[in-house]
Amino acid sequence: MRSLLLLMATTAAPAFAAVNPLPDDFNALFATTCMKYYYAQDTLRDQMKSHGLKVLPPDQAGLFLGGKEGTAWILVAPSTRYVISLSNNSVCSVFAQRGNPEQIQSGFLKLVGTAPALLVAQAPDTAGLGPNNDLARTVARSWAPPADKEELLFVLTTSSSEEVTAQTMASMSRVKRAK
């Protein structure tokens, strides 16, 4: 399974890696799963299976799927455990049990802060997207063509607490554009 993390870190999604180098394992995993296969989700499922990732049983996967139907896979690396989840309503997420919140947030903003050609990156209001308090911070970016009514929404929540199940969670989904 470590080989999957190394493979993903070295074969980053070309459209995204060309704009922003991948700064850490968490963001590399997010870029090479959710971002790379967002429009090819069956391929993502095939990739997880071909790399031998364990599918979490529904009672454990529910936490990572926000109560929605879908699939969650676990990846155990030397530094932490990761979960990659893909809900049936096309929300793709990566969770890390442990990680450096500041480093991961900085890397995430570098990764999604600049959109590929023909798309515009924006910083949407994070109210309602996740917590922003002394222990947790949520940041978001969206990508869309200038006149499109929908956008790709990227959300990252990090926690400095050692007591949480996952210190880091990044998600990608297609949503109606805020007016």
- Please tell me the pTM assigned to this model: 0.87
Tell which residue, 37, 72, 2, 29, has the closest CA to residue 168: 29
What does the pLDDT read at residue 8? 40
What is the per-residue pLDDT for 3?
39
Q: Which residue type does 85 have? A: S
Three state DSSP letters for 102-131: HHHHHHHHHHHCCCCCCCEEECCCCCCCCC
Under a CB-based contact definition with an 8 Å cutoff, are residues 14 and 32 in contact? no
- Each residue's pLDDT tens digit, 123-179: 999 988 998 898 999 999 999 998 899 999 999 999 999 899 899 999 999 999 876
Query: How far from 20 is each of 2, 127, 144, CA to CA, in Å?
Result: 23, 27, 18
**pLDDT grade, residue 9 (50/70/90)?**
very low
Give Rg (Cα) of the chain.
15
Nearest alpha-carbon partner for 109 in 173, 177, 156: 156
CB-side exposure of 5: number of CA atoms within 13 Å? Answer: 19
